[in-house]
Amino acid sequence: MMCIHALPKSHAGMLSFVGRLLCLPLVLLAPAPLAQVTVGQETVGQVAGSSPQLPLPLIAAGTPVDAPQAERWNRIVLLARPRIASGDVQALSSSIQKSVSSLVLTILATVESHPADVRPGETKPPRQFRLRELGLGYATDVQGELRVVSVAAAGQMGVNLGFVGRQMLAENERQLAAVRTVVRTSTLTMFDTRAIMLRQGRHQEMVTRHLVWLDSRSGRLGALLWLLQRPAAGEPQRLVDEPLRWVAAGTREDRAIHVDGQEFSLLGIPREQAFALQDLPPGKSIPWTDEARRLAARESYDSESLRELTVAINQALQALPRDSR
């Protein structure tokens, strides 16, 4: 198997960037009426600094992306196809631009249901839903269908990644494996990823925080994302002064990328800061409440602080005009 170090130097910086850029997991949100953010029956993962943060599962190669009847990976959270869109686009060859767009960031969920207790006056037992897991991967077109692919399985799947695509996917897989859960319950998962964002004409390093949840009564999935400042050593994370972003369920994102030619070396080698996401995924901006702002940048949550955060987020969501939900 070829390793990343086998790449020509002119490509290595690009692939390092793509790994970090494409592994920015996007999110989804429930349709109207708004699904309530609920903590669920148990909290596992990073709780009050006890156990280490747990990795998100990686989706097995060959898994179909759109399989709502499947036992596992039956809900689409996000499909994001990157595209070199603005800035010094001419600094990149057409082959690299094509390879960037051939791999689709894929975030899927496994949602389970079972009969709930019958309430007085009900004749049919309602269903109770549970968010069993979230998973990450990269998908590509396989005989007209999007399927998750890996470097190891591409040949068996009949997928010709090409030299650049193969090395790009290898780096992307490494980056996905590093994503960690902040907190998880039976109805929600929060996780962070590193990001380089285009802000005020500059490429800035940030952290994207994702909160994906499930309404246990309706089975609707939902999500919010927001930006955090990357802290200096020994300092706490801080919230970026931008609204929450509410993104529709099952979003297929055209992930626009900006290129900064000033971040290329004299030899034309792109540094990591040469590429940035133009924006968060399309959705509705939601103003922060004071309480949600106070809690949103914590590095860990226990049951009480997580409950407080979900209450504050629900208050922010309910402040939206009815016709914009």
pLDDT tens digits along 7-65 = 344 455 555 544 544 443 333 333 333 456 666 655 554 343 334 578 999 999 999 99
Pairing between β-strand 75-87 and β-strand 251-259 as defined by DSSP bridges? parallel
Question: What's the rounded mean pLDDT across residues 120-143?
Answer: 87
CA gap 266, 268 in Å, rounded: 5
- Is residue 215 over pLDDT 50? yes
> What is the pLDDT, as a whole number, of residue 32?
35
How many helices (H) and strands (E) would you count in the chain? 5, 14
pLDDT bucket at 94, cuts 50 / 70 / 90: confident
Tokens of 198: 């285009």
SS3 for 264-277, per residue? ECCCCCECHHHEEE
**Apex CA 20: angle with CA 282 and CA 83, to 5°?**
50
At 235, the amino acid letter reads: E
CA gap 39, 297 in Å, rounded: 18
- Is residue 214 over pLDDT 70? yes
Do the beta carbons of residue 255 and residue 105 sit within 8 Å?
A: yes
Tokens of 77: 């959270």
- Is residue 90 over pLDDT 50? yes
**Apex CA 300: angle with CA 299 and CA 305, to 5°?**
120
Question: What's the rounded mean pLDDT across residues 93-99?
Answer: 86
**Apex CA 274: angle with CA 269 and CA 278, to 5°?**
150
| Alpha carbon 319 to its chain's center | 25
- pLDDT tens by residue, 133-156: 999 999 999 999 999 999 999 999
3-state secondary structure of 280: coil
Asked whether the CA dihedral 300, 306, 309, 313 is positive or negative, the reply is positive
Question: What's the rounded mean pLDDT across residues 64-68?
Answer: 96
Sorted by where each begins, the domain ranges of the chain are: 4-117+126-324
Decide: pTM greater than 0.85: no
- pLDDT tens by residue, 278-314: 999 888 899 999 999 999 999 999 999 999 999 999 9
